[in-house]
Structure 1
Amino acid sequence: MPFTLSQPAHGEIEIRKSRFICCVEPVADRSAALARIAELKAAHPAAAHVCWALHAGGQSAANDDGEPSGTAGRPMLEVLRHQQLEGVMASVVRYYGGIKLGAGGLLRAYTDSVAQALLQAERLPLRRQQCFCCSVPYALEGKLRRVLQGAGAQLQAVEHGAEVALRFAIDEDDSAALLATLNESCHGQLRWLDTD
C-alpha cells in the first residue's frame, strides 16, 4: 500500500566535516518541487549542493545538483520508492567540509540522510479516490447529502438548475457500496452524469 507524509520531517547528519541537512515532505508535482528547491537554495546560499528526489507518479525526478552523476538524487529516489512513498520529495542541503567522500561515500551519505529524516516522519496511507457526478430533483437533495456525509464522501460542488447536480469523491474501496445505496435510496430519480 502506498503512503504519503502528513507533514515535513527533518534530519541532519555529519560525515567527515560535511553537513547533510535533509527534509522529506509531501509535494504534489514537479512544479511544486522546483519551487521548494528554489526556496531552499535561497535559504542556504553557502551550501555546496541542494540535491533532491521527487516520487510522484509520472512526475518523479531526481537531481544531483553538481554531485557526481548517480550519487545523490537517484539513490534518494530509490529510498522513497523502497518506502512506498508517493507524492513525497526528499531534499538534502550539503555543506562541504573539505574532505572528499568518494562515490560510495556520497551514495551512503545521501541515502542515510533521507533514512534519518524518515525516522521522524508520520506516514499516512494513500487511498485512491473516485469522483462521481449525479443529479436529483430538489426534493431529494437533503437525503442525498445525508447519505454522502454518512458514507464519508467529500462533496466537491453543487449546482442548482432544473435539478440539483452534485459532484463528490469517495475512497475507491467504498465507491460500489455508496453507489448502490444512492441508487436505492433515490428510488430511480437519480441520474448519473459524466465526470471530466
Structure 2
Amino acid sequence: MYQLAAPAFAEIDIKKSRFLGQLYPLNSRSEARSKLAEIRSAHPGAVHVCWVLLCEGDSGLDDDGEPSGTAAKPMYNVLVHKDLMNVLAVVVRYWGGTKLGAGGLTRAYSQAISEACKTAELVAVESMQDLTVQTGFGDESHVRRCCEKFAAVVTQVEYADAATLHIRIRQKLASHFNRELTEMLKGQVTIKG
C-alpha cells in the first residue's frame, strides 16, 4: 500500500474538453468534503467535479452528473491498481463542446488520474500492530530497550501489580519482537495483541 507525500496534479485535453486530475492525501470524509467545497469554489465554470475517496473505513465516489460508471469508477480502478490509500482523487471537467461517449469519458477520467499519479510522490504504508506487554517493574527497562531495537513506540504505560506497556510496532516485526523479548525475560512476560 502507498499514500501520497503531497498533492499531485495533471491536466489533459480531449476534443477541447479539459480534465484536471488532482490527488490529495486525506484521512476522512469530513476532510474530503472541505476539499471538494474548496475545489468547486475554485472552478465555478466546470461542468463536473467527479471524485473518489479511499480511506480506511470511510470511502466514497461520485460521478457528479456524468453517465453512471463513466467517471468515478474508472478513477477508482486507477487508485486500486496503483495500490493507493488515504487519498482523494478529483477530476474537474470543463466542457469542450464535443460529446465523448461512454468509452471516451471512461478513458478521459482514468487517464487524468493516471497522469496525476505519474507526478505523485508515493510513500509506502506499513501495517502497524498494537501490543500490550505486562512484566515486573524491574524488567520495564528491558522492554523499553527491546522497543528501541525494533523501532516500536510505547504509547502508554500503566502501573498496578505489574508494569503494562502499550506498544505500537510494525506488523512484520511483531513476531520477532515477541520472541526476543520472551527470551530476554526468560518467559517472565505476557504479550497480547
After TM superposition, the structure 1 = structure 2 runs for residues 85-124 of structure 1, keeping only pairs within 5 Å, are 85-124=84-123
Match of 1:17 in 2: 16
Compared CA separation, residues 144 and 41, structure 1 to 2 (3 A): same
CA displacement at 1:155 relative to structure 2: 2.4
Q: Is the counterpart of residue 180 in structure 1 residue 179 in structure 2? A: yes
Q: Distance in 1 between matches of 2:14 and 2:153?
A: 47
Match of 1:63 in 2: 62
Deviation above 4 Å: which 4+ runs of structure 1? Answer: none
Match of 1:30 in 2: 29
CA displacement at 1:24 relative to structure 2: 1.7
User: Does the CA contact (< 8 Å) of 2:45 and 2:94 recur in 1?
Assistant: yes
CA displacement at 1:68 relative to structure 2: 1.5
The one-letter amino acid paired with 2:173 is D
CA displacement at 1:57 relative to structure 2: 5.4
More displaced stretch, 109-118 vs 49-58:
49-58
Match of 1:42 in 2: 41
User: Does the CA contact (< 8 Å) of 2:10 and 2:116 recur in 1?
Assistant: yes
Q: Distance in 1 between matches of 2:123 and 2:56?
A: 17
CA displacement at 1:118 relative to structure 2: 0.5
Q: Is the counterpart of residue 4 in structure 1 residue 3 in structure 2? A: yes
Query: Alpha carbon RMSD of aligned pairs, Å?
Result: 2.2
Q: Distance in 1 between matches of 2:154 and 2:135?
A: 15
CA displacement at 1:160 relative to structure 2: 3.8
Compared CA separation, residues 45 and 159, structure 1 to 2 (3 A): farther
CA displacement at 1:133 relative to structure 2: 1.0
| Structure 2: gaps of 5 or more residues | none
User: Does the CA contact (< 8 Å) of 2:178 and 2:191 recur in 1?
Assistant: no
Percent identity between matched residues is: 39
| Structure 1: gaps of 5 or more residues | none
Residues 108-136 of structure 1: CA deviation (Å, up to 9, x unaligned): 11111001100011223332221111223
Match of 1:75 in 2: 74
Task: Indicate the SS of the match to 2:119.
Answer: coil
The one-letter amino acid paired with 1:125 is A
The one-letter amino acid paired with 1:152 is A
Q: Distance in 2 between matches of 1:57 and 1:145?
A: 30
